[in-house]
Structure 1
Amino acid sequence: MKKINLFVSFILLVNYCLAAKVDTVNVFSQAMQKNIKTVIIQPEVKAAGATATLYLLHGYSGNYKNWVDNASHIKQLVDQYGYTVVCPDGGFGSWYWDIEGDQNFQYETFVSKELVDYVESNYPVLKDRKRRGITGLSMGGHGALYLAIKHPDVFSAAGSTAGGVDIRPFPDNWDMANRLGTYRENAQKWNEHTIMELTHLIAPKSLDLFIDCGTGDFFYGVNEELHRKLTYLNIPHHYLTLPGKHDWDYWRKSIVYQMAFFDSIFSNNR
């Protein structure tokens, strides 16, 4: 634990004099017919030309401000690595799915299509899947992997921190039954909406993956199972476990490793 704290302190010390630009914008979703608040963090010191983009998703009951409010060093990390970070509002319990027949829950379309189009039309970012990544925490970790697997033409790299990567062990939690119906009566639909049953869609060498979880997290077990399954299927991925629970004490640390991973991917794809 001491090594992690020292690492975060070092990052903050190196970057204390920089100040990333933080915008809060309304992005209109045609699919949902409403504005979605989104935080966009741009590096103060940009490399020549446009930047890569990391889409960073919040968890259940969270909102677009969670990352900048609870992990303020993310601004220093943006300056250090020189890529843009986009934090959309994912609604309350959306799990970043499109729900057929419910106009209020079309977050797959919003994040993977409408938001990407908005960002790339209004900010100096690269319009190239090799320079787009997506990650998030908890529900957002699930959402990031789900969207990247479903839309390999949009994202080249995906991450998850403390993600609910298999929803089936939690059939009564976090509004999932409100979106999908009960697991008991709609098992196939749940299978189609959980990461654990989508791994067959990952084409060889199509997606760089980084998954982490705290060893005291209630999602630790499902992350261990996903790691074992990806290993068994010979799907390359980075997997990290650290001491920690399902809380911001852990996520403030894990975002340092997540953003370093995406920097390495973006740098290799230049």
Structure 2
Amino acid sequence: MALIQMEFKSETLKRTVSANVILPSERFRGPYPTLYLLHGLTDNCNGWLSYTRIRLWAEESGLAVVMPSGENSFYMDILVKDGCLGDFGEYIGRELVNVTREMFPLSHRREDTFLGGLSMGGFGACRNALKYSETFGKAAVLSGALHFYEYPVSWVETEGNTLGEVKNFGGIEKTRNTDRNPRYLMDVIKNDPDRHFPEFYIACGLQDVLLKANRSIANALSEAGAKVTYEEGEGIHDWYFWDTYIQHVLKWLDYKAERKD
């Protein structure tokens, strides 16, 4: 197995960016099925490696894992298009996939390309798997920060606004009918005969304040026509829950990696 720390100049984000890449090269041959795995608020590309056993599990199962840094962006495009911050949705949904496929022996097939994340990264996985449904065949959402358009605005702007992140959305009511809202994107796919939903896995802890939002999005996806696997279990919004349920995600992905002779 190889653990690669990469940096490259992102045209989309207009700066040098970093990511960690796990390649199961010792036991398996490429092209590898690939999981793009997103971190949560205040974290970076090292979070999954530091607090879970994702490296071990990827090596054992033949999965490539790409873990980018998404800052506190919620993996959305910026609202000020002439600014210098760049579009994180476009970065995750297109540029990062294209760059890593050019650099590493990753599968180019939609059915082998997955997107996942926790908390803020769970929102990013949900939103961008829908936005870029032609790229991702499956998406995994763990304790997704999906409350912005699911809970009352008064709660979102107070208790649900840890670091001022609600401003990333540009006003909840103002942007409700835009591609910042997963429900809007569900309608786009549902009404376009040429597009298909990714499959979704969603899990949340029973003691997590975001539980109802995850239930709500899971139901909405299912009603829109997506295939959804939903799980709940004991736990709060922490790494103990995510370390356990990322194992559920890997089993659910049900990918096939070719072993070396």
Q: TM-score, normalised by structure 2?
A: 0.86
Displacement of 1:44 in angstroms is: 4.1
Distance 1:129 1:123, change over 3 A: same
* Paired position in structure 2 for 1:200: 187
Q: Which runs of 5+ in 2 are unaligned?
A: none
* Paired position in structure 1 for 2:127: 146
- CA deviations on 1:207-250 (whole Å, 9 max, x unpaired) are 11111111111110101112232343443210011110001111
Q: Any conservation in 1 of the 2:79–2:170 contact (CA below 8 Å)?
A: no
Q: Percent identity?
A: 24
Aligned ranges 1:22-171 → 2 under 5 Å: 22-71=3-52, 73-91=53-71, 93-101=72-80, 102-168=83-149, 169=151, 170-171=156-157
Residues in 2 aligned to 1:206 and 1:220: alpha-carbon distance in whole angstroms: 23
Q: Which runs of 5+ in 1 are unaligned?
A: 1-19
- CA deviations on 1:100-124 (whole Å, 9 max, x unpaired) are 3233141111111111111101101
Query: Which of 228, 244, 253 is matched with 1:253 structurally?
Result: 244
* Paired position in structure 2 for 1:238: 229
- Alpha-carbon RMSD: 1.9
Q: TM-score, normalised by structure 1?
A: 0.83
Aligned ranges 1:4-15 → 2 under 5 Å: none
SS at 1:166 equivalent = coil
Displacement of 1:149 in angstroms is: 0.3
The answer as to 2:168 corresponding to 1:179 is: yes
Q: Any conservation in 2 of the 1:166–1:194 contact (CA below 8 Å)?
A: no
Residues in 1 aligned to 2:79 and 2:54: alpha-carbon distance in whole angstroms: 35
Paired residue total: 242
Displacement of 1:191 in angstroms is: 4.3
4+ residue runs over 4 A deviation: none
Distance 1:31 1:210, change over 3 A: same
Displacement of 1:45 in angstroms is: 3.1
Displacement of 1:176 in angstroms is: 3.1
- CA deviations on 1:175-201 (whole Å, 9 max, x unpaired) are 333323333xxx131442122443223
Residues in 1 aligned to 2:165 and 2:185: alpha-carbon distance in whole angstroms: 17
Q: Any conservation in 1 of the 2:58–2:64 contact (CA below 8 Å)?
A: yes
Displacement of 1:62 in angstroms is: 0.8
SS at 1:78 equivalent = helix
